[in-house]
Amino acid sequence: MPTSPICLALDVPSLAAAKELAAACAPHVGMLKIGIELFVAEGPRVVTELKTLGLPIFLDLKLFDIPTTVQRAAKSVAGLGVSMVTVHASGGREMMEAAIEGAGPDVTVVAVTVLTSMTDGDMHRVGIDRPVIQQVRKLADLAKGSGAKGLVCATAELQQISGLFGHAMVYVTPGIRGDEPVSDDDQKRTMKVDEAIKAGTDWLVIGRPIRDAKNPAASAAAMNAVALAAIAKYRTPK
């Protein structure tokens, strides 16, 4: 059982900055997320270096390509020794199955449904003729049927989704916000830490509210305290 349900998004441009942020916050978070900004800038060594902090690593590459390419990429991901990797559920069943096969038994393949930066109003602009919640449900079904072990969605959809799959899936929710607003925020489907825990999330992905705080470690500690209190309040032990 991790000490914290917070997954810290290391959205910084260099390994040095990532190490500094991760080391400062490590006592208050349960997982470290490496996204495309950091991975493209520093390459696989960023995984090796950050693993020395002893926390599981989530490689958020959001793979989306033909099945063969995704399978081979997922195999390379597994070779890095990470715990979790993302694929886009909209890549379809064959692509997700290929990702799972490539990732092997030690890497949890988590399917991204609808990005938390999108709203109902954005859906038709990308050719989807239904509201976010229906699209999330459709993609969640597809991901579950394809063998994905986890889902990424906004907390707003979680109640319905977790009602469908229960504890059979790992739920990962970005767009988590504290009391301070994030400047120029592009996340649209946001929610507070305690609301996300109440809705049933397993991992709260948090980036800017911690990264951009005056004192990131203090911000991580405060958000973790809220999360742990909410777990005690809303969750019955499994």
Judged by CB, which is closer to ligand C5P: 26, or 112? 112
Nearest in space to 113 (alpha carbons), one of 82, 84, 138: 138
Q: Which residue is nearest to ligand C5P (CB)?
A: 207
Single residue of 112, 136, 140, 199 touching ligand C5P by CB under 6 A = 112
The kind and range of the H/E element at 59 are strand 57-63
Whether 131 contacts 153, CB under 8 Å: no
Is 62 an active-site residue?
yes
Q: Least distance from C-beta 87 to ligand C5P, angstroms? A: 11
88 binding ligand C5P? (CB under 6 A) = no
Residue 10's Cβ-side half-sphere holds a number of Cα atoms within 13 Å equal to: 32
Give the one residue of 206, 223, 227, 230 binding ligand C5P; rule: CB under 6 A.
206
Cβ 36 to ligand C5P shortest distance, Å: 7
- Regarding 50 and contact with ligand C5P (CB under 6 A), the answer is no
Q: Which residue, 142, 93, 85, is CA-closest to 113? A: 142
* Backbone dihedral angles phi then psi of residue 119, each to the nearest 5 degrees: -120, 175
Interface residue with ligand C5P, options 21, 47, 115, 230 (CB under 6 A): 115
Kindly state the tokens that stand for 65.
Answer: 């390509």
| 11 binds ligand C5P per the rule CB under 6 A | yes
Interaction of residue 196 with ligand C5P, rule CB under 6 A = no
Residue 160 or 233 having the CB closest to ligand C5P: 160
Among residues 19, 51, 62, 138, the one annotated as catalytic is: 62
C-alpha–C-alpha distance, residues 147 and 133, integer Å:
21
Per-residue CA distances from 144 to 59, 114, 140, 162 (Å)? 20, 15, 6, 12
Q: Which is nearer to ligand C5P, 68 or 182 (CB)?
A: 182
Q: How many beta carbons lie within 10 A of that of residue 212, not counting itself?
A: 13
Q: Which residues bind ligand C5P (CB under 6 A)?
A: 9, 11, 35, 60, 112, 115-116, 152, 174-175, 187, 205-209
Mind telling me the catalytic residues?
62
